[in-house]
């Protein structure tokens, strides 16, 4: 029925739906929590939403702390579309929570540092390599826009060319370095210092994470849910990390990390860094596997 990290007690919590499950989890030395719905029951809700309500401006994810599916509809969702969404959530009323946000769910186009291509600015995620060949990862909705990428807005400092792009469905892309610029395996923290990245990891609910992006710099927050679906106007993206870390246009593709671990690439969200908001991230391990590269 899901797991999450409880920062207040510094423990991992495992949801179970039976008394026998409580005993088994306790016997394993982990803290159990009795809930009403198991993962299969909650997945039926997300499957129904995907089949019947993949409406641009909506998103959903299983929340293990609430033991429910959190559903979001932004301000672009019409009255008729909202009724269509509610027709699904009302079928599973005890298993869902529907939130109407005043923001707009969108990719955050406008590692941290700025990259430029096709008239747009995004953010570099992580420097990676395969043997002696070097690349960087960023968002797929960024690499879809341009083939050549630069380190400055006047596009005189050439970084490299697009070697792969996956969006929608996923949201990752890879650029092969074709320049002599320095390519450290670090993330810029926007205070003159850098965080060394040595490996990649999967996110977990409750994890404290930080994000670096070229518009809003370094921001922090926690993971709210995993395997989120976001229905952008450009298409649906699946398997994302949902967080309460803010982001704005131009932060797309930027680094999500926890200490020395690479976690994700900024995809999009709603809100901003003045009023707060929800931001979604592409898990970085999926991108690393797709392209056969590693962080360093």
Catalytic residue ranges: 141, 171, 252
H or E segment to which residue 141 belongs: helix 140-143
Cβ contacts of residue 219 below 8 Å, gap of 6+? 210, 211, 213, 245, 246, 247, 273
Q: Please give the angle made by the CA atoms of 109, 268 and 89, to the nearest 5 degrees.
A: 145
Burial of 281 (0-12, 13-18, 19+ CB in 10 A): buried
CA distance 11 to 4: 9
Q: Helix axis angle, 79-89 relative to 39-52, nearest 10°? A: 150
- Write the Ramachandran bin of 78: left for phi over 0, alpha for psi from -120 to 50, otherwise beta: beta
Q: Which residues on neighbouring strands pair with residue 162, listed in sequence order?
A: 175
Give the DSSP letter of residue 290: H
End-to-end CA separation in angstroms for the chain: 35
Would you call 119 helix, strand, or coil by DSSP?
Answer: coil
Is the bond preceding 168 in cis, omega lying within 30 degrees of 0?
Answer: yes
Strands 58-63 and 106-107 come out as unpaired
Closest by CA to 194, choosing from 126, 136, 131, 134, is 126
């Amino acid at each position: 029925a899901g797991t999450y990290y409880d920062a207040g007690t510094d423990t991992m919590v495992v949801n179970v739906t039976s008394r026998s499950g409580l005993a088994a989890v306790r016997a394993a030395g982990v803290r159990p929590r009795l809930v009403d719905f198991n993962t299969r029951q909650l997945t039926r809700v997300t499957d129904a939403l995907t089949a019947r309500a993949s409406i641009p401006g909506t998103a959903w994810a299983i929340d293990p702390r609430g033991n429910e599916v959190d559903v979001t509809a932004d301000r672009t969702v019409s009255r008729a579309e909202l009724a269509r969404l509610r027709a699904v959530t009302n079928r599973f009323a005890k298993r869902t929570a529907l939130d109407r946000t005043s923001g707009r769910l969108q990719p955050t186009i406008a590692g941290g540092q700025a990259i430029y291509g096709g008239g747009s600015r995004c953010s570099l995620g992580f420097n990676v390599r395969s043997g002696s060949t070097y690349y960087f990862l960023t968002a797929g909705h960024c690499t879809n826009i341009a083939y050549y990428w630069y380190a400055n807005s006047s596009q005189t400092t050439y970084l490299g060319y697009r070697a792969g792009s996956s969006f929608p469905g996923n949201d990752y892309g890879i650029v092969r370095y074709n320049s002599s610029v320095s390519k450290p395996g670090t993330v810029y923290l926007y205070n003159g210092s850098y965080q060394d990245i040595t490996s990649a990891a999967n996110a977990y609910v409750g994890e404290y994470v930080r994000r670096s992006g070229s518009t809003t710099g370094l921001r922090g927050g926690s993971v709210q849910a995993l395997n989120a679906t976001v229905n952008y106007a450009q298409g649906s993206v699946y398997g994302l990390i949902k967080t309460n870390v803010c982001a704005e246009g131009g932060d797309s593709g930027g680094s999500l990390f926890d200490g020395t671990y690479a976690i994700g690439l900024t995809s999009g969200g709603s809100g901003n860094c003045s009023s707060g908001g929800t931001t979604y991230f592409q898990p970085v391990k999926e991108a690393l596997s797709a392209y056969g590269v590693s962080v360093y």
